[in-house]
Chain A
Amino acid sequence: MSYLAQMEALLFVAGEDGLSLRNLASLLDISAMAVSQQLEKLAEKYRMDQDSALCLLESSNTYKIVTKEEHAELLRQYAKAPINQSLSRASLEVLSIVAYKQPITRVEVDSIRGVNSSGAISKLQAFGLIQEVGKKDVIGRPNLYATTDYFLDYMGINSLDELVDASAIELVDQEMTLFSEDDI
């Protein structure tokens, strides 16, 4: 049996959960180095095969078999998995603040946004993008929130360092009109 076939079988069954390098190495009883070589081969095999819709994706430190991106439009009409859905503006703002300032309390998020963020926080928790990671040592012992491993997968990255550098953000203006001419 070829390692490629065995790997494909394991990754196929693991589906969206994926498998880490260590999982694969212990299941196949070969070194992690060998696993990553084999993975590269498998990825290459998918890449070269024009008649295959699959490719390998590495995110949140696990490998998954996923469909190639050119099928996204077709699949969007069919599939609606949480990871392929986008978030509302409010949730995105809260998620960004948690991602860059974690661990952080709800009140701290509220004060940056200037609005109450409880709704967005419970939504993000329900989606598994953020989680409680303890209490802050102040009066009231508020919960501290941080991002999860699923958040890494959601962003398609392996670690928080891969997020856009917060200091590199150019503060650009955006234009909108508050009132259209004929309203006033």
Chain B
Amino acid sequence: MDIKLKDFEGPLDLLLHLVSKYEMDIYDVPIVEVIEQYLAYISTLQAMRLEVAGEYMVMASQLMLIKSRKLLPKVVEETPLEEDPEQELLSQLEEYQRYKELSQELAAQHDIRARFFSKPKQELIYEDAELSHDKTTLDLYLAFSKVMAAKQEEIKNSHTTIERD
């Protein structure tokens, strides 16, 4: 296994990947085939006793519902009781794909900005400066929490994990 679930940002990302192999419009994709691939992929992972995030399971059950409904003959009703889950999923996929692309654009734009460096603001100190008591305990608490959160994130990202073969 060279690719694991951690390479995907959730079930929509995985579905998008499966759909993208068909190289056609999302709405023209043979949905049952895609569903089968998704379920096969999830069960392969489970067989290997890998941790599968709950969200993938929720998606799997939605897909099973879509698939089982497609197998049943259409009952003509005067008013359709609920939305078509298949169409809903496809539009969700399309929207997710849009933001996935946009996030790449944002990253590229930030890369340009990241090429310019500057220095922190110089704290100037004067004898006659008056302290304007406009900060409270809460400000202090929030300021420190913010520093801690950013630091923890940094530490988390600097870890190296060794995978088992």
- Which residue of the partner chain, among A15, A69, A99, contacts B121 with CB atoms under 8 Å? A15
Residues of A within 8 A of B106 (CB): 92, 95-96, 99, 155, 163-164
A71 and B116 alpha carbons, distance in the complex (Å): 8
The 0/1 profile, CB within 8 Å of A marked 1, for residues 56-81 of chain B is 00010000000000000000000000
Q: A115 touching B110 by the CB < 8 A rule?
A: no
Please determine whether A156 and B112 come into contact, CB atoms closer than 8 angstroms: yes
Output the least CB separation between B62 and chain A (Å). 10
- Say whether B98 contacts A169, CB under 8 Å: yes
Number of B residues whose C-beta is below 8 Å from A? 54
CB pair A155 B149 closer than 8 Å: no
| Contact between A154 and B113, CB atoms less than 8 A apart | yes
Q: Is the interface of B mostly helix, strand, loop or mixed?
A: helix
- Chain A interface: which size bin? 35 or more
Q: List 15 A-B contacts (CB under 8 A).
A: A15-B119, A15-B120, A15-B122, A75-B117, A83-B113, A86-B114, A92-B107, A95-B106, A100-B102, A114-B11, A126-B153, A169-B98, A169-B105, A171-B97, A173-B21
B: which residues have CB within 8 A of A? 1-3, 7, 9-13, 17-18, 20-21, 23, 41, 44, 53, 55, 59, 92, 94-107, 109-122, 124, 146, 149-150, 153, 157
Q: A169-B98, A169-B105, A179-B3 are in contact. List 19 more A-B contacts (CB 8 A).
A: A66-B116, A88-B157, A92-B103, A93-B99, A96-B99, A100-B102, A114-B96, A115-B53, A126-B153, A154-B110, A163-B109, A164-B109, A171-B94, A173-B23, A176-B7, A178-B3, A179-B2, A180-B2, A183-B1
